[in-house]
Amino acid sequence: MRNSRAFTLIELIVAISVTTLIVAAMMRLFMDETTLWQRYDQKLDTFREARAAMQMMARDFGGLRPESSALSTDPNQKFPMLALVANPEGKPEDQVNQEIYGLPSVRNKGANDLCAIGYYCTWSDAKNAFVLQRQFTDSSTTFGLLTNALDVNHPTYGAEAFGIIFTRDTKKNTGLTIDDLASYIWDLKVVTPLTGNPPTQLSWPQGYFDRELPPWVEISFKAVGINAARKIAGSGVTRDTWFQPQSTLYRNLILPNEQQFVTRIKLCR
């Protein structure tokens, strides 16, 4: 018979200790990975509204078509298929950020696809912040507004046509809805390229694009997440603070938490 040797008590204690250390190290590594994943997930979640809003803007304006030539045969009729202007029906104190409006093809409950859509920021006293809003008019109502703008006896174009189509008067615009898409959104900017030699870029507002759209439109804005928003709400931040990056409030409360969102949308020409 071969001699067999059992483990001593000391050997068992050493083995258990080593195993415990290995298990503890693995658990610590797992917990660290879990914590990092949770923090990353929370960071994404805090900007969920902003990301969803940007995706909706890309989807809406990705449906723009240069259709005004089919709507009107008058070459002087500058029909606003895309408008980079401030809506005069908006509050002057809200017109710090830029605005964008268009007549894209979007699926809706109306009889066709052509809808009047606008995006802009309005100020909220309750939140001490700007809120990104979407102005949407269903296709049936849009068609009626278009009919008014294209009246054969009194045709309108440019700013006058814009005022008819993108009115916020619910009596004239029965198919109008205005939704708050995301809070704590500011520095909304819209950029389009202009051809030339050398290429030039006009400052906003660029006015109305009708029979020919630019090759693309770039939309950007800044946002802060939910956690920072809670601190900002009661911090004494004013409307002007959001555009004063050198101020103490901005550097302490906004700058460490802000994130830039940018999308470039290719347009049909």
Residue predicted with more confidence, 72 or 122: 122
Cα dist from 135 to 121, 227, 246, 266, whole Å:
11, 28, 33, 22
Domains in the chain: boundaries: 9-46, 48-266
At residue 149, the pLDDT reads 81
Q: What is the pLDDT of residues 135-192, one digit of tens each?
A: 999 999 998 888 888 776 777 778 888 999 999 988 888 899 999 999 999 999 998 8
Between 46 and 255, whose confidence is greater? 255
Pairing between β-strand 100-102 and β-strand 82-84 as defined by DSSP bridges: antiparallel
Residue 20 pLDDT greater than 90, yes or no: no
Type of residue at 119? Y
The tokens describing 23, both together, are 């298990």
Between residues 204 and 48, which one has the greater pLDDT? 48
pLDDT exceeds cutoff 80 at 196 = no
Q: Which two tokens stand for residue 146?
A: 């278009």
pLDDT digits (tens, 9 = 90+) for 227-269: 788 888 777 888 999 999 999 989 998 999 999 999 999 987 6
> What does the alpha-carbon distance between residue 265 and residue 65 come to, in Å, rounded to a whole number?
13
Measure the CA–CA gap between 87 and 92, rounded to whole angstroms: 9
The model's confidence at residue 5, banded by pLDDT at 50, 70 and 90, is low
Question: Rounded distance, CA 16 to CA 229, Å?
Answer: 50
Residue 30 confidence class, pLDDT cut points 50, 70, 90: low
Task: Read off the pLDDT of each residue in 51-70 and give the average, rounded to a whole number.
Answer: 82
- What pLDDT is attached to residue 59? 93
| pLDDT tens digits, one per residue of 74-95 | 555 556 789 999 999 989 888 8
Percent of the chain with pLDDT over 70: 81
Q: How confident is the model at residue 109, as a pLDDT? A: 79
Residues 6+ apart with CB under 8 A from 108: 115, 138, 139
> Averaged over 196-213, what is the pLDDT?
71
